């Protein structure tokens, strides 16, 4: 199978490319390196069946060229990270909405199948947990750029489903919940790699707010497995799927787990939101997925233990910092 991945130099994209090449598929990557990095795919360059191009998913002729050559397109290119989203709302909206439109328009020419990556952010401020794919979405006011990402990704989903209905493009939508693992950077506000870096450096581990807000962290390998199973399951096409684990952890408890895993003596410091983000920033207290649809349709449920996920992230960050692994 020939697979085209937009944003393939990113965190999830590079793991997906690695997995596809490992099973004998051909992989074509397009990435503008705005948030991805060549180091994520350096080990893949030169392997048979691997091709990459530095460019943007907003380039319609280039995207069309790759989509036409592909048996499957996985659209991962997007603005990522809370800090980037808050600080660059124009970039967030343009990247997410326009790029998705370009990909879907190219796919519509020959009804090529597309996986559109979405996010748990689309659930917005809803307190109705666990989040189910068909429940109502609840976003904040347009005056708060915090919600631009959620709105843009929700629009991506509507656009994908509209192309499926009107133009017969086969689509699957994956709503990823806090996917983490090796190669993820903390540069744009991703909490787990940031905690790991701070702990390994002996710096204070900074937890925003009161630390009681909770999340469910899923391993990138499970996310890739879920995506590949969805693609291989005819019943999945035309649907939206939550992808993540259901193990909930507060940010304070996560900070403690990271500190213990890293063997660190870092203090844990609470930082008010108004010191970390622009005025009006809002956060959600809980974000928990219902993954019963994924399990029912594919037979797969992500279940990598949180302790293992944290170990993998800590060791990846340890290697990035050039530190020596401490024997268990």
Burial class (CB in 10 A: 0-12, 13-18, 19+), 299: exposed
DSSP bridge pairs for 218: 179
Per-residue pLDDT at 46: 96
Q: Residue 49 to residues 1, 53, 62, 76, 204: CA-CA distances in angstroms?
A: 10, 14, 19, 20, 44
pLDDT digits over 38-72, tens only? 999 999 999 999 999 999 999 999 999 999 999 99
Size of the chain in residues: 328
Q: Please compute the mean of the pLDDT values over residues 153-166 and round it to a whole number.
A: 97
Cis peptide before 16 (omega within 30 of 0): no
Among 186-200, 233-247, 266-280, top mean pLDDT goes to 233-247
Query: What pairing do the DSSP bridges indicate for beta strands 214-216 and 248-250?
Result: antiparallel
Confidence band (pLDDT; 50, 70, 90) for 84? low
Q: Assess if residue 254 is contained within a domain.
A: no
Domain annotation covers residue 86: yes
DSSP state of 95: I
Say if CB 220 and CB 180 are below 8 A apart: yes
pLDDT at 273: 78
| CA neighbor of 80 nearest in space, from 70, 69, 88, 72 | 88
13 occurs within a structural domain: yes
Contacts of 326 (CB under 8 A, 6+ apart): 263
**Alpha carbons 128 and 131: distance in angstroms, whole number:** 6
3 state DSSP class of 228: helix
Average pLDDT, stretch 136-145?
Answer: 88
Which of 52, 123, 149, 277 is the catalytic position?
A: 149
Give the range of the structural domain holding residue 17, as residue numbers without chain letter: 2-179+218-243
The answer as to whether 74 is a domain residue is yes
What mean pLDDT do residues 182-192 have?
83
The per-residue pLDDT for 325 is 58
Identify the residue with better confidence: 257 or 79.
257
Q: Is 123 in the active site?
A: no
Residue 35, domain CATH: 3.40.50.720
**What is the SS3 string spanning 5-63?**
EECCCCHHHHHHHHHHHHCCCEEEEEECCCCCCHHHCCCCCCCCCEEEEECCCCCHHHH
pLDDT higher than 70, residue 252: yes
- Asked whether residue 208 is assigned to any structural domain, the reply reads no
DSSP of 134-194, one letter per residue? Answer: TSPPB---TT-GGGHHHHHHHHHHHHHHHHHHHH---EEEEEE-SEE-TT--STT--HHHH
pLDDT band at 82 (very low <50, low <70, confident <90, very high): low
- If one counts the domains in the chain, the total is 1
Confidence of residue 185 (pLDDT cuts 50, 70, 90): confident
Tell me, yes or no, whether 269 lies in a domain. no
Whether 138 has a pLDDT exceeding 90, the answer reads yes
Contacts of 105 (CB under 8 A, 6+ apart): 60
Asked if residue 261 is part of any domain, the answer here is no
- pLDDT of residue 327 exceeding 50, the answer is no
In a domain, 168, yes or no: yes
- Nearest Cα neighbor of 23 from 51, 46, 49 is 49
């Amino acid at each position: 199978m020939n697979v085209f991945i937009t944003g393939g130099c990113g965190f999830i994209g590079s793991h997906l490319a690695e997995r596809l090449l490992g099973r004998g598929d051909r992989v074509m990557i397009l990435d503008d390196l705005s948030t991805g990095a060549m180091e994520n795919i350096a080990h893949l360059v030169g392997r048979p069946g691997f091709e990459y191009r530095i460019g943007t998913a907003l380039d319609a002729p280039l995207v069309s060229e790759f989509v036409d050559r592909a048996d499957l397109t996985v659209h991962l290119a997007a603005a990522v990270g809370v800090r980037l989203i808050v600080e660059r709302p124009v970039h967030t909206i343009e990247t997410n909405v326009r790029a998705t439109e370009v990909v879907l328009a190219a796919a519509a020419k020959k009804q090529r199948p597309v996986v559109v990556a979405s996010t748990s952010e689309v659930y917005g401020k809803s307190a109705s947990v666990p989040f189910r794919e068909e429940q109502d979405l609840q976003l904040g006011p347009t005056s708060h750029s915090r919600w631009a990402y959620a709105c843009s990704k929700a629009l991506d989903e509507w656009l994908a489903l509209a192309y499926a209905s009107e133009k017969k493009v086969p689509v699957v939508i994956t709503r990823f919940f806090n996917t983490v693992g090796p190669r993820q950077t903390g540069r744009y506000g991703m909490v787990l790699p940031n905690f790991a870096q701070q702990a390994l450096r002996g710096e204070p581990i900074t937890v925003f707010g009161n630390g009681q807000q909770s999340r469910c962290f899923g391993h990138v390998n499970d996310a890739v497995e879920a995506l590949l199973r969805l693609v291989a399951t005819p019943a999945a096409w035309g649907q939206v799927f939550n992808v993540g684990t259901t193990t909930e952890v507060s940010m304070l408890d996560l900070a403690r787990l990271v500190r213990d895993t890293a063997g660190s003596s870092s203090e844990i410091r609470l930082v008010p939101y108004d010191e970390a983000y622009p005025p009006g920033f809002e956060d959600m207290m809980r974000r928990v997925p219902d993954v019963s649809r994924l399990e029912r349709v594919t037979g797969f449920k992500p279940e990598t233990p949180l302790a293992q996920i944290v170990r993998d992230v800590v060791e990846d960050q340890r290697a990035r910092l050039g530190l020596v692994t401490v024997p268990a």
